[in-house]
Chains A and B, each alone.
Chain A
């Protein structure tokens, strides 16, 4: 019998991931507001508005979603929960949110105190989360491909945070003299290729075959891809500027291509070819991954430079943002369904019927999300060419995240209503399978 290591306590309460998911789009809307209020924000990667925009999206939206998801994903992929997850989550969420907000304000106002406050809050939030996650990961037996990917992503997160703190240090402690221009690229590289891609890889190994009835990733590739990408990143960071650095970065980009192409192929082999906007979000994100990798390789091969604003937008919102939006459309309804199923089994005499998972975020709502996201991406690319479009792009991005907020709150509302009905005394539960 399989009994060891399994406990319902390993599954965190729904409010743990949901709290992060519901807060995250607020930062997406704040990032959009920056573009509406500062039409020159996208003119350079060093613009205060651009830096605020980028960090509201990466730390405010992205990190909130990822941290929330990891509280739930780790027990599913490994049977190991993040220790004290339910207790730590509200504090981590608050510190992460306030930290991202302070950092954005710091960039806009150039106030050194806000940078110090932001680094303190972000360090506390991500440090606490990283320590708890590391403890959880260290207890995993046996290690699988996804566990390895999560562990490497965690190291990349810490590296990103340290490099970010070093680069921000002139704002509050200039006497330390730690700032180096090229470290900004490393900060972005570890955040994008390390933390984000390694984590997306690890999670995709599980969720693409699981949710889309697709074949498993090739075992060998799944095993060595995250480690090889990590080594390429490490070599890029440690090598002196020159041939070895370019070679390592080139290998890293080739690995991105390999992963992207494999994931697209696996999605194309899924057994159910029904309209599924999560799949479209995945495909859109992976096509962006391929495009950015090819552009990067082109830049390396020709010795030229590709505008970092295009690369950052395509990577951050085109690849990572699309994948996150897609996964939220699938993972949140599944989690809600799972928690309601548990509640129903505890109280099978209740009168409430379990809602169909697909009704929690209905297909028309996902289609609208897809349309908003495509519009926002188009608007942002357009604004890079014609800066006059920046406020319009901001408005489209605001609509994208506002719609996400609406969908998530509606799903949560449905959960709460159903749960309330279940806890109320009533007649025996009706059969809930006829309408599926």
Chain B
């Protein structure tokens, strides 16, 4: 069963701090763990770095300036359904 870590909120940080914080956090991401990031923008420069370094991710827009990015090790398989379930739970007030 995957584990969702406490969300990392980088919404108020200027580039490249969001990228730095995310990459530093990912150094300690274990198998079957999922990092959830709160961001105000879709961090496009981050995505190729994730793929090149063996991570998978899911990015969804939750509001005008609210994105959720879920990141996990590629070895953990496809955790899309797990992340979408968390998104749905977040949407329910």
Contacts and interface: CB of A to CB of B under 8 A. Distances in A.
> Are these two chains actual partners, yes or no?
yes
Interface of A: 1-3, 6-8, 10-11, 75-77, 79, 209-213, 215-216, 219, 271-272, 334, 337-338, 341-342, 345-346, 357, 433, 436
Contact of B14 (A7, A77, A213, A337): A213
Contacts of A76: 44-45
Contact of A433 (B15, B24, B40): B24
Contacts of A271: 12
Contacts of B78: 1
Interface in B48-77: 48-49, 51-53, 56-59, 64-65
Contacts of B16: 334, 337-338, 341, 357
Contacts of A77: 44
B20 interface: yes
Interface of A (DSSP majority class)? helix
A271 B12 CA distance: 7
Interface of B: 12-17, 19-20, 23-24, 40-41, 44-45, 47-49, 51-53, 56-59, 64-65, 78, 80
A436 B24 CA distance: 13
Contacts of B20: 433, 436
A5 B77 CA distance: 20
- Best-buried of B40, B45, B52, B64 by chain A (most CB within 10 Å): B45
A341 B40 CA distance: 22
Contacts of B41: 209-210
Contact of A8 (B13, B15, B48, B56): B48
A345 B44 contact: no
A79 B44 contact: yes
- Best-buried of B12, B23, B48, B52 by chain A (most CB within 10 Å): B48
Nearest to A272: B14
Given A1-B56, A337-B16, A6 B48 contact: yes
18 contacts: A1-B56, A1-B80, A2-B58, A3-B51, A8-B48, A75-B44, A79-B44, A211-B14, A216-B64, A219-B64, A334-B16, A341-B16, A341-B19, A345-B23, A345-B49, A345-B53, A357-B15, A436-B20
